[in-house]
């Protein structure tokens, strides 16, 4: 009996020692990420815990860092130039991707995801904003469909029937609201990205740059139409011009009921609308964009962030496996919307009942997932250019700002902006 007990203790000690030795031989891996949006940090952290549990053969650490938008790009580009201190993953906001196209930075420093994505490419919408020379360098964080947000309680008081089917209906509703002392929407007259102009332009199948990098025409009637809409809306007192959509004056206008609507993408709700005017919960609704003409597109797009893997990553294939789990599985595409309200890019997820049946108390328990789903299936394409940032500034300085102020006609403003961009592209 004593011999058996001794043998059992010996076996037990061997098992324990093997376990200790096995644990100590686990490869330790750290996956790092930089992004401007703390919601991405939260989402990746939750998915990281799940993914790590699926890989017990590694001891996995995560270093996810939020860096203010204006500080992020200089920090990333400096680290890439130095070749050290570079994270595995970087979230490249859509308007910043052009910086990685200049000097072939994307090609030199980012992993070409095209072969890793492979045949799954057709399962998703919206690769174009993170493509360079036909290769994919980023996986999109959200489809960013633009819808019309409106304060239903105020619309009802003004006798406005919703949904508004056309932009003509929108103008008529704006006139009724003006009589009650309200603006139907605010429009940004200066800034970094002319969302309000581009949303109206994209809705008409316009493209600032095409797939070959060619610039839009200086007399594109769709662009002139969008500029005229903004100019006339401001002049008539239907649209309220603001220097920034993301600063205190605009939020104060929403709180006071001066502004009672806007046309913005999915991220506007979770990032600005709810945090800035929580007291108006239950009063707001969303609808598809009004159409330019009957049967026309009822959606547009604004914003986005593509996650790229840097060539300085020590474990690029493992990092892609993590990125794929987080962003390219139906389960987590749905979770991203349920947790963040950032809309899926996976076609199968867009129409899943968990999305289309999603209701939100802030919007009077409206099934906002159904509205976003309908908008998503009409999303227009947006191509990139190395001159995107310059184009944004030229459009504001030469067209949007002076046209809204009545200092230029839409025709002259567009002509001046395109001429300026072309001069920068030489």
- Tell me the pLDDT of the chain (426 aa) as tens digits: 444 455 455 445 554 444 544 445 889 999 999 999 999 999 999 999 999 999 999 999 999 999 999 999 999 999 999 999 999 999 999 999 999 999 999 999 999 999 999 999 999 999 999 999 999 999 999 999 999 999 999 999 999 999 999 999 999 999 999 999 999 999 998 877 788 999 999 999 999 999 999 999 999 999 999 999 999 999 999 999 999 999 999 999 999 999 999 999 999 999 999 999 999 999 999 999 999 998 999 999 999 999 999 999 999 999 999 999 999 999 999 999 999 999 999 999 999 999 999 999 999 999 999 999 999 999 999 999 999 999 999 999 999 999 999 999 999 999 999 999 999 998
346-355 contacts: CB < 8 A, separation 24 or more? Answer: 346/123, 346/124, 347/123, 347/124, 347/125, 348/123, 350/125, 350/143, 350/376, 350/377, 351/377
> Helix H segments across 113-194?
114-117, 152-157, 167-179
Distances (CA, A) of 254 to 28, 86, 218, 249, 285: 50, 41, 35, 9, 14
Does residue 138 come out as left (phi exceeding 0), alpha (psi in the -120 to 50 range) or beta?
A: beta
pLDDT computed for residue 193 by the predictor: 75
Output b/e per residue, 112-124; b: 16+ Cβ within 10 A: bbeebbeeeeeeb
pLDDT computed for residue 189 by the predictor: 87
Residue 160 contacts residue 261 (beta carbons within 8 Å): no
21 burial type by CB count under 10 A (0-12 exposed, 13-18 middle, 19+ buried): exposed
Q: Report CA 326 to chain centroid distance, whole Å.
A: 16
Calpha distance 215→236 (Å, rounded): 32
Q: Which of 308, 287, 273 is nearest to 72 (CA)?
A: 308
The two tokens of residue 251 are 């939020």
Q: Cβ neighbours of residue 38 under 8 Å, at least 6 residues apart?
A: 66
Calpha distance 404→84 (Å, rounded): 46
pLDDT computed for residue 393 by the predictor: 93
pLDDT computed for residue 24 by the predictor: 55
Number of Cα atoms under 13 Å in the Cβ half of residue 95: 18
Q: Which of 421, 396, 420 is nearest to 227 (CA)?
A: 396
273 burial type by CB count under 10 A (0-12 exposed, 13-18 middle, 19+ buried): buried
Q: Which helix (H) or strand (E) holds 77?
A: helix 69-82
Domains in the chain, please, with CATH? Answer: 27-140+304-356 (3.40.190.10), 145-301+385-425 (3.40.190.10)
Helix (H, G, I), strand (E, B) or coil at 146: strand
Residues in the chain, total:
426
pLDDT computed for residue 272 by the predictor: 95
Q: Which of 194, 193, 170 is nearest to 261 (CA)?
A: 170
């Amino acid at each position: 009996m004593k011999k058996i007990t001794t043998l059992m203790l010996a076996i037990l000690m061997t098992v324990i020692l093997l376990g200790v030795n096995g644990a100590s031989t686990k490869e330790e891996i750290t996956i790092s990420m930089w992004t401007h949006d703390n919601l991405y940090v939260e989402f990746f952290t939750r998915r990281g815990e799940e993914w790590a549990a699926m890989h017990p053969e590694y001891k996995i650490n995560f270093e996810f860092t939020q860096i203010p938008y204006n500080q992020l790009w200089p920090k990333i580009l400096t680290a890439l130039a130095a070749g050290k201190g570079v994270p595995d993953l970087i979230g490249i906001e859509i308007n910043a991707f052009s910086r990685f196209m200049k000097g072939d930075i994307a090609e030199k420093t980012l992993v070409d995801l095209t072969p890793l994505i492979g045949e799954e490419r057709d399962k998703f919408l919206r690769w174009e904003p993170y493509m360079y020379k036909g290769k994919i360098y980023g996986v999109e964080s959200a489809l960013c469909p633009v819808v019309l947000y409106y304060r239903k309680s105020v619309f009802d008081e003004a006798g406005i029937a919703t949904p508004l089917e056309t932009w003509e209906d929108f103008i008529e509703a704006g006139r009724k609201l003006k009589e009650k002392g309200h603006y139907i929407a605010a429009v940004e007259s200066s800034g970094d990205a002319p969302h309000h102009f581009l949303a109206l332009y994209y809705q008409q199948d316009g493209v600032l740059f095409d797939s070959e990098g060619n610039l839009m025409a200086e007399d594109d009637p769709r662009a002139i139409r969008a500029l005229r809409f903004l100019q006339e809306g401001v002049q008539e007192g239907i649209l309220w011009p603001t220097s920034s959509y993301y600063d205190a004056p605009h939020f104060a206008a929403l709180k006071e009921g001066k502004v009672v609507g806007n046309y913005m993408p999915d991220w506007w709700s979770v990032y600005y609308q709810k945090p800035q005017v929580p007291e108006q919960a239950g009063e707001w609704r969303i609808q598809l964009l009004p159409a330019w003409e009957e049967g026309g597109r009822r959606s547009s797009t604004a914003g986005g962030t593509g996650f790229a893997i840097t060539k300085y990553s020590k474990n690029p294939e493992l990092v892609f496996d993590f990125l794929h789990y987080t962003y390219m599985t139906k389960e987590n595409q749905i979770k991203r919307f349920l947790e963040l309200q950032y809309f899926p890019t996976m076609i199968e997820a867009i129409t899943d009942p968990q999305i289309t049946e999603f209701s939100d108390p802030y919007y009077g328990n409206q099934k906002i997932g159904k509205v976003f789903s309908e908008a998503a299936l009409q999303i227009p394409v947006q191509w990139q250019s190395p001159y995107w940032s310059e184009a944004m500034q030229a459009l504001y300085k030469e067209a949007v700002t002076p046209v809204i102020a009545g200092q230029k006609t839409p025709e002259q403003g567009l002509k001046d902006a395109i001429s300026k961009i072309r001069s920068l592209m030489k």
